[in-house]
Amino acid sequence: MQDGATIKNIIKRQGNLVAYDRDRISTAIFRALVSTGTKDRDLAERLGARVEQALVAAYGTHTPPSIEEIQDIVEETLFEAGYADTARAYQDYRHARAQARSMRACNFEVTDNIPYKKIYEVLCWNMAHECDSVPALNRLIERGDFINLMRAADRRYDEEIDAAAEVVLARSDRLRLIIVAGPSSSGKTTTTIKLAERLRKSGIGLQTINVDNYFFELERHPRDEFGDYDYESPQALDLPLIDLHLAQLLDGRTVMTPHYDFKTGRRHLAAHALKLEPGNMLLLDSLHGLYGPMTASVADEQKFRLYIETLGQLRAADGQFMRWADNRLMRRMIRDSWHRNSQPEATLTHWRYVRRSELTNIIPYIGNADFLVNSALPYEMPVLKGRIFDFFEPAIAKYRADPGRQDAYIRARRINDFLLPLTPAADAGCLAPDSLLREFVGGSCYEY
């Protein structure tokens, strides 16, 4: 990537050492250039090389600079090279990022958006099963223990569903609505099915309401400069109608639910009759199930709110953890390709809408949940790599110099770099028929 003597490592804000990568500097400069009207990736590369030369001159090749020190030199280099507007744009970007970090720190402290205790439990489980890092996972695969890991991980996930069902049964005298919520491709559908199986075996009657039928017509959704629809926000759904129907159903009345045709993007009102049988509970599976206006008419004590997320704790050799959202992106890229006839490229470029909505409308409500399920499966990365890895390198090349697709470029490069040293699973045929992962790779015993 870089020629000649260069920086080996840098110090992140948390104090940990990570490998130095000039491309991150060039990408930040490119974004600043674009904001001032210069869409020239090659110029950004040349300026990035000058920054690197300045870093080597200031710190040598063995003393790692900090993120803040690197950013100071980027600004100084841009000013010295005659790109004052770009330097000021970079300063604005740097300031905005600092404010965002400050806000996130405050929010985490107040709302507990990060479930630290649960994450610690996941990490401990992974360490005990020797699958907490890419090198450890490679060793496990090499010695032939991969299928044992699959069975153990599936049991761990099923035990969490068992525990959730026990909580529902303990509160069954006052519960009327069960909500399964969480971000895209977290495994809500399989979790809903498995939870319903357990409850029905215990004598709980359930009826589902399909929230997807409450989408507004597609022509009402905004489109960006690429013609892509932003349908990820809760406002893409007819929230008042959902809430009204929930109140009427729980009051024993029959409602006429709409039907949404995803092929045409059109909604047909009063299409299906639905009535909640006496003694039954309503079951709601939705991205936005914890979003207040969707279920405002139902008292909190009548709700059981389950939140699901891929709380994976898999580290690369340098200590960097796989991002939960990247895990879910790979799942969705594969599922969309066979279930929705959508190319992985379309899923990758659309993901910015997904993330924007879940950061605003889904993740902040984790503190309202009654139960938390981890859907990350330590064995899934080798399986997913075998199915999607070859896509990322062409995507990196395609979007590297595209100002409007830098989000896709950064995600593709990050996932590619993480997966590169991982041994892929040669055959996913050993996946159990009821594995949550089959919701995304196909072949499940469940109907979705």
Residue 167 sits in the same domain as residue 24: no
Give domain status of residue 2, yes or no.
no
Angle in degrees, 0-180, between the axes of helices 146-170 and 134-142, rounded to the nearest 10: 120
pLDDT for the residue numbered 284 = 97
Q: Which residues contact 32 (CB under 8 A, 6 or more apart)?
A: 78, 86, 87, 89, 90, 93
Which domain covers residue 358, as residue numbers? 112-441
Looking at residue 283, what DSSP letter applies? E
Give domain status of residue 3, yes or no.
no
**Can you say how many angstroms the Cα of residue 116 is from the centroid of all Cα atoms in its chain?**
17
Q: Give me Rg for the CA atoms of the chain.
A: 24
pLDDT for the residue numbered 335 = 94
Residue 84 sits in the same domain as residue 122: no
Give domain status of residue 200, yes or no.
yes
Residues of the chain with pLDDT below 70 are 1-5, 14-15, 99-113, 222-225, 227, 230, 340-341, 426-428
Q: Which of 107, 135, 155 is the endpoint of a domain?
A: 107
Tokens read off for 36: 């001032």
What CA–CA distance (Å, rounded) separates 331 from 334? Answer: 5
Residue 196 sits in the same domain as residue 342: yes
Give the H or E element holding residue 56.
Answer: helix 41-59
Q: Which of 63, 92, 107 is the endpoint of a domain?
A: 107
Find, among 324, 283, 325, 327, the residue nearest to 306 by Cα.
Answer: 283
Domain containing 361 — which CATH number?
3.40.50.300
pLDDT for the residue numbered 106 = 42
Give the H or E element holding residue 227.
Answer: none
Residue 277 sits in the same domain as residue 315: yes
pLDDT for the residue numbered 93 = 83
Read off the pTM.
0.84
Kindly tell me the number of DSSP H helices and DSSP E strands found in the chain. Answer: 14, 9
Contact 41, 62 (CB under 8 A): no
Residue 65 sits in the same domain as residue 118: no
Give domain status of residue 333, yes or no.
yes
Give domain status of residue 359, yes or no.
yes
> In this structure, what is the dihedral angle of CA atoms 47, 50, 55, 56, given to the nearest 10 degrees?
150
Residue 288 sits in the same domain as residue 244: yes
Residue 25 sits in the same domain as residue 144: no
Contact 285, 209 (CB under 8 A): no
Place of tokens 């600092």: 98
Give the H or E element holding residue 220.
Answer: none
Give domain status of residue 448, yes or no.
no
Angle at 31 between CA 28 and CA 35, to 5 degrees: 145
Q: Which of 74, 107, 140 is the endpoint of a domain?
A: 107
Contact 209, 257 (CB under 8 A): yes
Residue 131 sits in the same domain as residue 259: yes
Helices (DSSP H) in 60-131: which residue ranges? 67-80, 84-111, 116-128
Give domain status of residue 234, yes or no.
yes
Q: Is 3 helix (H, G, I), strand (E, B) or coil?
A: coil
Residue 63 sits in the same domain as residue 127: no
Residue 138 sits in the same domain as residue 228: yes
Tokens read off for 271: 């299409």
Contact 273, 254 (CB under 8 A): yes
Q: How many separate domains does the chain show?
A: 2
Residue 236 sits in the same domain as residue 127: yes
Residue 315 sits in the same domain as residue 183: yes
Give domain status of residue 314, yes or no.
yes
